[in-house]
Amino acid sequence: MKENNKTLAVQGLELTYFLKRRHLDLNRGWRFCRPVASHPLAPKALLCPIIQPTALDFEYHFEYHQGTVEVSDIQMGTAKPARTARGNVGVEEFRGKFRLRLPRSITPLGKQVIISTGLDATELNRRRVDSVANWIEEEIITGQLDPTLERYKEKLESYRKPQLSIVKPNTPQTDIMGLWEQYCAYMKPQLASTTYRRDYARKYTNHIKALPTKDLGQAIAIRDYLLSQLTPNAAKRVLTYLAACCKWAMGSGLAKDNPFAGMSEDIKLPKHDSDAIDPFSRVEMNIIIKAFEDTRPNYAPFVKFLFWTGCRTGEAIAIQWQHINSDCTQITFSESYDSQLNIRKGTKTGKARKFPCNSQVRELLLSIRPPNPDSEQSVFTSPTGGIISNTRFSTQVWKGGRTSKKNYKGVLQGLLDEGKIERYRCPYNTRHTFITLMLAEGLTVSTVAKLVGNSPEIILKHYAGNTVPLSLPEL
């Protein structure tokens, strides 16, 4: 290159330039169809990205602005950008698996296209899925996208296929922690993401880490320790998981025997009152709703929805406007939100269900529905507009209590202090209330089971007995 009357003559090798990011991808540049003849002088000391044109003979117009050279006008001619429009491919975690969300621009009618990868949400699989997402973006931008998407699905399928390897004979182990970690790795692909993270990777791992000994030969001492440190129910559960771990280890050649077999069965739990399902009465329900309207109005629609639909708390939190039809006559419960792990997942049963709204529920939804709601906008939100935390709602709003910084007076605790309700019950009892009241109104067991996403057997076993009057008629 050489300067000549405020121009730079390009000698067929390189052209330094700076492009506005909103116009072009700064890291990719342009490829020219015809040679460049000349262009105005750019600052000599400016270091910019470099492109290597395949041919030269095209004219650019540059302007000097705040120490950089920006493209202000390009005489297009036959020059074409290497990339026309960016096709963003999103990577999402859904029900413990990764999926790809493709831009609507790839379909003639702008329909949403989603590719289920079938890959667990792990760090390794994230890198794999990211590489496929980048590949699809590349082909969208260059106009080479496979409209059938088969190329990309085949690549994802290759990641799902197990790689064959030579398996060496296992040596029996006696370290419980080591066996537990291997058992968790074995169980992870078979479990919902939330179940694995909450129970296996967190709760029971912490219990095992706290054991005074990890020696498999000290099973009796471990049992006695658990019974001395935990409730009988919690100790029974830990021993059940340890027995399952050792049973798997025996089948895998990692342990000679299962010293925890049958231990949990020997632990007798105290019998509870037969009325373990403890619903609110209709009067108590209305008192609670009125209290929320008066003291915590932001949460009042949420509480009404819990009482009037009988859905699980996580299902109510997960509801978005896309799950409710346009006239608010039907709700689709297909997701639940785990506030501890901050992720969306499927319903407890893994099945979606349709819920027909009565006039009461419909009027509630219409009263809070924005004029043009975003499909992914949460129906119920916290006072700050964010997603509701089940834990915070239960401990601070519903029940109340102290934290290191603040004392929260819960709505239910206030009603209890005033003698307006008989006893405290947690938010989940709103579900018990709905089921019990619907059965009392004459709905069949199978109908109620469909409405709340339970089996008829569960309804009969746990709920139907609560509709029997405590005072019997005379014979």
End position of a domain, from candidates 65, 83, 101: 83
Find all residues with CB under 8 Å of 293, minimum gap 6, and list them.
300
290 and 404 assigned to the same domain:
yes
The count of C-alpha atoms lying within 13 angstroms of the C-alpha of 404, restricted to the half-sphere facing its C-beta, is 0
Distance between CA 157 and CA 151 in Å, rounded? 10
Q: Residue 87's pLDDT is what? A: 59
In a domain, 309, yes or no: yes
Q: Would 454 be classed as within a structural domain?
A: no
Q: Is 383 a member of any domain?
A: yes
Q: Which of 34, 57, 83 is the last residue of a domain?
A: 83
Residues 62 and 198 in one domain: no
Same domain as 322, residue 290: yes
For residues 236 and 210, give the distance between their C-alpha atoms in angstroms, rounded to a whole number: 16
Please state whether the predicted TM-score (pTM) of the whole model is above 0.75.
no
Residue 383 sits at the vertex; the CA angle it makes with 378 and 389, to the nearest 5 degrees, is: 65
Per the DSSP assignment, residues forming a β-bridge with 337 are: 344
Q: Does residue 306 sit in the same domain as residue 425? A: yes
> Does 462 reside within a domain?
no
3-class DSSP string for the chain = CEECCCEEECCCCCEECCCCCCCCCCCCCEECCCECCCCECCCCCCCCCEECCCCCECCEEEEEECCEEEEEEECCCCCEECCCCCCCCEEEEECCEEEEEECHHHCCCCCCEEEEEEEECCHHHHHHHHHHHHHHHHHHHCCCCCCCCHHHHHHHHHHHCCCCCCCCCCCCCCEHHHHHHHHHHHHHHHCCHHHHHHHHHHHHHHHHHCCCCCEHHHHHHHHHHHHHHCCHHHHHHHHHHHHHHHHHHHHCCCCCCCCCCCCHHHCCCCCCCCCCCCCCCHHHHHHHHHHHHHHCHHHHHHHHHHHHHCCCHHHHHHCEHHHECCCCCEEEECEEEECCCCEEEECCCCCCEEEECCHHHHHHHHHHCCCCCCCCCECCECCCCCECCHHHHHHHHHCEEECCCCEEECHHHHHHHCCCCCCCCCCCHHHHHHHHHHHHCCCCHHHHHHHHCCCHHHHHHHCHHHHCCCCCCCC
Do 232 and 298 belong together in one domain? no
Token pair of 102, please? 């493709």
Structure tokens at 75: 């005489």
* 26 inside domain: yes
Cα–Cα distances (Å) from 102 to 121, 124, 152, in that order, read 18, 21, 12
Please check whether residue 339 lies inside any domain of the structure: yes
Asked whether residue 277 is domain-assigned, the answer is no
Residue 186 shares a structural domain with residue 310: no
From residue 459, give the alpha-carbon distance in Å to each of 356, 439, 443, 451: 19, 9, 12, 11
Report, in angstroms and rounded to the nearest whole number, the Rg of the chain calculated over CA atoms. Answer: 32
Domain C-terminal end among 30, 52, 83:
83
pLDDT value at residue 16: 35
**253 and 367 fall within a common domain:** no
Distance CA 317, CA 335 (A): 9
Q: Which CATH number do you get for residue 334?
A: 1.10.443.10
Q: What is the pLDDT of residue 450?
A: 93
41 in Cβ contact with 19 (< 8 Å): no
Q: Using CA atoms of 46, 50, 55, 57 in order, give the dihedral in degrees to the nearest 10.
A: -20
Each of the 475 residues of the chain gets a pLDDT tens digit; together they read 333 333 333 333 233 333 322 233 333 333 332 333 333 433 333 333 333 333 333 333 333 333 333 333 333 333 333 333 345 899 999 889 999 999 888 888 888 889 999 999 999 999 999 999 999 988 888 888 888 899 899 889 888 876 555 556 556 678 999 999 999 999 998 887 778 888 899 999 999 999 999 999 999 999 999 999 998 989 999 999 999 999 999 999 999 999 999 999 888 887 654 346 889 999 999 999 999 999 999 999 999 999 999 999 999 999 999 999 999 999 999 988 887 777 777 777 778 899 999 999 999 999 999 999 999 999 999 999 999 998 889 999 999 887 777 888 899 999 999 999 989 999 999 999 999 999 988 899 999 999 999 888 888 877 765 554 545 556 5
Could you give the number of structural domains in the chain? 4
Q: Are residues 312 and 426 in the same domain?
A: yes
Regarding whether 98 and 30 lie in a shared domain, the answer is: no
Residues 422 and 328 in one domain: yes
Q: Is residue 348 part of a domain?
A: yes
The reply to whether 60 and 123 lie within a common domain is no
Q: Which domain holds residue 414?
A: 282-436
Based on the fold, state whether residues 208 and 295 are members of the same structural domain: no
**C-alpha span between 280 and 434 (Å, rounded):** 9
The identity of residue 315, as a single letter, is E
For residues 37 and 15, the answer to whether their CB atoms sit within 8 Å is: no
β-strands 353-356, 407-409 pairing: unpaired
